[in-house]
Structure formats: C-alpha cells, structure tokens
C-alpha cells in the first residue's frame, strides 16, 4: 500500500517550495505540518498505536532531517516489511516524529533547515501512506458535490461565484466559501470532508497562501480531488511545480467537464 512514486513526487514538490518562497512563508508551512500531524488521531476507535522506543523515534528523525528523502523512505519501508500497518506507521512514527521535531525546534536542537527538510519528508510520507483514509468513505461516491473557495486573503470572489452558479445549473451541489480565513476554512473542510475541492487564485501574490491551504487540506482530507483556477498571469506549469494539486482549471465550462469525467472514472 506504500506508494513510493507519490512519496518521491511530493518530496520533490516540497523541495521546490523551499526554494521558491521566503523563509517566513516556509517556516509557517513547516509549523502547520508539524502541528497538524502531531495532533492526528486514529479513525478507528479500537486502534492502538504500537509502542515505539524514544531511540527509534530519534533514529527516524535523523533520517528525516537529511537533505534527500531516501533515508526516510528506506526507514518506513523497513517498518512496513516488519509488519507495521499503515495506521501503525502513521500514528506510531509520523505523529511522534512531528512532535519530536517541534520540540527540538523549540529547544534549538534542530535548525530551521533541519525542520523544513524533516516536515517536507513527513508530509510526503503521509501522502504516500494515505493512512488517514483508513475507514473513510471513498473519494468520490457518484454524487455531484464540491466545495468551492477563494484562497484566504483574496478580495475577488466574482469568478468563483459565477463558476458555482454554472455548476449548479449543471446539477451540482456547490458549497461556496469566499472571504474565509485559513483556519476557518480548514475547520470547515474537516467538518464537511468534501470529496472535490475547487480553489480560485486571483493573484500570484497569494501563491504562498494557496500552497499552505492545499497542504493543510491534504492532511485533513487526503483522498479529496483538488483543483485550482488560476489568475491569467499564473501559468499552469508553475502551479503544478509548486502546489500539490490534481487539476488546473482553464475556465468554468472545462472545469465542469473535467470533474464530470473524473467522477465517472472514480465510479
């Protein structure tokens, strides 16, 4: 069940983020990942996380803070080969490592670079394991439902409002959220667990906010399909190089066709 290709692609995306954004934006993203992963809970109330020694967690953290992701990948592959389940790896190792990295950063035992390497590799491992989907409903169940939202901090919601109306005319149920801040939007996503999410980016100046939003959504609803409708001055290639998304929408009619096709394929 461990997807090494997804791990490699996600780790590469995160490395690109470290180079593309200012240090304070990367620090905010790293802090988000540590906080959200460290607070994860099992979906199955009967699940018990395996008992793991402090030395084993410390050894895992040492692999995580290396510049390349290979050592962290091998560490988790070895645990899986030993029989540790996806849930066990996620809740036994990834959650504990997120807490340890956060504590080490607070105590100045890890540098900023250590933590950004470590959180990027942890996020990539989470995406590859898909552990949070344990016991969850399928990503798409045939219903035409989606969450549409503007990136937090944006003032322009006309385009996505028009797109929502078009989708509704085509028979979709659209939950539209505009002018919603980051934490409020993620709380809404956690509560509603949308299968499909469409985001509107009206300016490249909010690209770092989009990256932060998508990472939080991936941790909260890892099985969701996420697409972005960008501003005309943001290329689709740049979005795919920086943001962990499934689709880039050119316009509302083509977005409707793309999502209809995806729903049919998932069905």
Domain ranges of the chain: 4-133, 145-266
Query: Mean pLDDT across the chain, nearest whole number?
Result: 88
Tell me what the mean pLDDT of segment 194-217 comes to.
Answer: 94
**What confidence tier does 98 reach under pLDDT thresholds 50, 70, 90?**
very high
**What confidence tier does 42 reach under pLDDT thresholds 50, 70, 90?**
low
Of 120-124, 165-169, 251-255, least confident by mean pLDDT is 251-255
* pLDDT value for 94: 93
Tell me what the mean pLDDT of segment 10-21 comes to.
Answer: 93
* pLDDT value for 41: 73
Longest dimension (CA), the chain: 58
Alpha-carbon gap, residue 61 to 117, rounded angstroms: 10
How is the chain classified by DSSP, letter by letter?
---HHHHHHHHHHHHHHHHHS-HHHHHHHHHHHHHHHHT---SSTT--PPP--HHHHHHHHHHHTSSSSHHHHHHHHHHHHTT--HHHHIIIIIHHHHHHHHHHHHTTSS-HHHHHHHHHHHHHHHHHHTGGGTTPPPS--S--EEEEEEPTT----HHHHHHHHHHHHTT-EEEEE-S--HHHHHHHHHHH--SEEEEE---GGGHHHHHHHHHHHHHHSTT-EEEEE--TTS-HHHHHHHS--SEE-SSHHHHHHHHHHHHHHH-
Alpha-carbon gap, residue 177 to 149, rounded angstroms: 5
Alpha-carbon gap, residue 190 to 132, rounded angstroms: 12
Length of the chain: 267
Taking the model in full, what pTM does it have?
Answer: 0.90
Burial of 26 (0-12, 13-18, 19+ CB in 10 A): buried
**pLDDT at residue 15 above 80?**
yes
pLDDT in tens, 136-168: 444 555 678 999 999 998 877 888 999 999 999
Alpha-carbon gap, residue 200 to 215, rounded angstroms: 16
Tell me if the domain spanning 145-266 has CATH number 1.10.150.130.
Answer: no
* pLDDT value for 183: 95
- Which of 211, 168, 197 has its CA nearest to residue 262? 197
Q: Is the alpha carbon torsion for 201, 202, 203, 209 positive or negative?
A: negative
* pLDDT value for 177: 96
């Amino acid at each position: 069940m461990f997807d090494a290709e997804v791990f490699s692609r996600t780790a590469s995306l995160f490395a690109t983020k470290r180079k593309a954004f200012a240090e304070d934006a990367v620090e905010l993203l790293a802090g988000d990942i540590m906080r959200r992963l460290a607070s994860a809970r099992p979906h199955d109330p009967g699940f018990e996380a395996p008992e793991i020694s402090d030395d084993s967690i410390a050894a895992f953290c040492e692999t995580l803070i290396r510049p390349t992701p290979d050592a962290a990948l091998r560490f988790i592959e070895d645990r899986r080969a030993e029989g540790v389940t996806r849930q066990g790896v996620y809740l036994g190792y990834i959650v504990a490592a997120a807490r340890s990295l956060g504590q080490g950063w607070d105590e100045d035992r890890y540098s900023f670079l250590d933590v950004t390497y470590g959180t990027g590799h942890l996020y990539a491992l989470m995406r590859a394991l898909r552990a949070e989907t344990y016991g969850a409903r399928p990503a798409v169940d045939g219903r035409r439902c989606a969450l549409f939202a503007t990136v937090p901090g944006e003032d322009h919601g006309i385009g996505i409002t028009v797109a929502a109306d078009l989708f509704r005319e085509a028979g979709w149920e659209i939950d539209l959220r505009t002018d919603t801040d980051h934490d409020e939007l993620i709380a809404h996503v956690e509560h509603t667990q949308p299968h499909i999410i469409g985001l509107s980016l009206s300016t490249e100046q909010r690209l770092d906010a989009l990256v932060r939003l998508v990472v939080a959504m991936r941790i909260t609803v890892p099985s969701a399909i996420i697409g972005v409708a960008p501003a005309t001055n943001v290329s689709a290639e740049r979005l795919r190089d920086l943001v962990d998304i499934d689709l880039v929408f050119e316009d509302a009619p083509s977005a409707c066709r793309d999502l209809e096709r995806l729903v049919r394929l998932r069905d």
